[in-house]
Amino acid sequence: MERCVIVGGAAIGDYGTVRAALTDNDYMIYCDCGLKHREGLLREPSLIIGDFDSHENPHADIETIVLPHEKDDTDTVFAVKEAVKRGFEEFLLIGVVGNRLDHTLGNVAILEMLDNLGKKAVILDDYSEMEIVGTEPKYIPDRFPYFSLLNIYGIARGIDVTDAYYPLRDAELTTEFPLGISNEPLPGRTAAVSVKEGHVLLIRVRKG
């Protein structure tokens, strides 16, 4: 099944990098003012979702779900839940990290929600890409100059980091002390991260 790409309304400055991450088979869901990225991404929506409080409803010949203004889910969260209902297993979220820290943190929480459902999900922004790491290792090639690990909630124990400037073996990360900030893959190597108990947020940084 194709991947689902969720397009939010946060700023995208580097359309080239985002376009390079897209494939012809991606199912594109544009959320409300995420529609402003339609021209920059050069991709038509497969589905449009929103309450249209920040962007005009285009009334295009495209499936559109109009949401009420007062609701528990943000447009982005609703879009993710709708995509899960439609059977998608892999997600890419773009335009979801920006000036509104509250929305940014809420959208990062979507990664944990999808991970708990057994789905694969990545957030891509102008500077980095983010995903959740559990027992299945994740990798950081040395084309990423930096990477960070954050425990965003709960327990994170048995953390191994290899082929990195700051290796870890059977470590614990707490929410109070950001020990995992700003590590580096060793030159010519691919760093690896795994977690025996709990989850951590991996942020691969492309540029500072």
pLDDT tens, residue order, the chain (208 aa): 799 999 999 999 999 999 999 999 999 999 988 999 999 999 999 999 988 877 777 788 899 998 887 777 888 999 999 999 999 999 999 999 988 899 899 999 999 999 999 999 999 999 999 999 988 999 999 999 999 999 988 889 999 999 999 999 999 999 888 889 999 999 999 999 999 999 999 999 997 6
pLDDT at 178: 84
The encoded tokens of residue 208 equal: 């500072």
For domain 132-205, is the CATH number 3.40.50.720? no
Instruction: Give the Cα separation of 43 and 37 in Å (integer).
Output: 9
Q: What is the CATH number of domain 4-126?
A: 3.40.50.10240
Q: Is 4-126's fold the same as 132-205's?
A: no
What pLDDT is stored for residue 20 in this prediction? 95
Domain boundary assignment for the chain: 4-126, 132-205
The predicted structure's pLDDT at residue 58: 73
Which pLDDT belongs to residue 103?
Answer: 87
Whether the CB-CB separation of 92 and 122 falls below 8 Å is answered with: yes
Can you give the pTM of this predicted structure?
Answer: 0.93
